[in-house]
Amino acid sequence: DIQMTQSPSSLSASVGDRVTITCRASQDISNALAWYQQRPGKAPKVLLSGASILESGVPSRFSGSGSGTDYTLTISSLQPEDFAIYYCQHYFSDPFFGQGTKLEIK
C-alpha cells in the first residue's frame, strides 16, 4: 500500500494569510493526488485532483502543485470559510488518505 503523510497536522493562521500544506507519498504517485476540505460536521468536498486541477466551483485562491512523491496545497489568501480540515488522497492504486491538517484561526 502507498501511504500518505501530511504536514503539519495542525496550523494556526489569520484571515488573509497564505498557507501551504504538504503531502508526501511513500512512492511515486505520478500526480494521482486529490485534496479535500472538510468543514465541521460536514462531509468532505473535493477541491483539486490530478495534483493541480481545480474542481468546478472551487475558488481560485486554492492551488496545488508537486510531482513524484511530494505535493502541496496552497491557499493564497485565507477566508473565514477556509478554516477546516484538509486531506490529501492518492488514487494511483487503492485510494489512501493522509491523516489530515486542521487549519485553525489564530
Partner 1 sequence: EVQLVESGGGLVQPGGSLRLSCAASGFIFNSYAMGWVRQAPGKGLDWVSTISGSGAGPYYPDSLKGRLTISRDNSRNTLYLQMNSLRAEDTAVYYCVKLRSRPETGELLHSIFDSWGQGTLVAVSS
Residue 43 vs 80, nearer CB to partner 1? 43
Q: Which residue reads 472538510 in cell numbers?
A: 38
Name residues contacting partner 1, limited to 22-81 (CB under 8 A): 32, 34, 36, 43-46, 49, 55
Stretch that binds partner 1, among 14-22, 61-69, 75-83, 91-99 (CB under 8 A): 91-99
Query: What DSSP assignment string belongs to 67-81?
Result: ETTEEEEEESS--GG
Q: What is the radius of gyration, based on Cα positions, of the chain?
A: 13
Contact 4, 97 (CB under 8 A): yes
Residue 50 vs 59, nearer CB to partner 1? 50
Q: Tell me the three cell numbers of residue 23.
A: 503531502
**Interface residue list for partner 1 (CB under 8 A):** 1, 32, 34, 36, 43-46, 49, 55, 87, 89, 91, 94-100
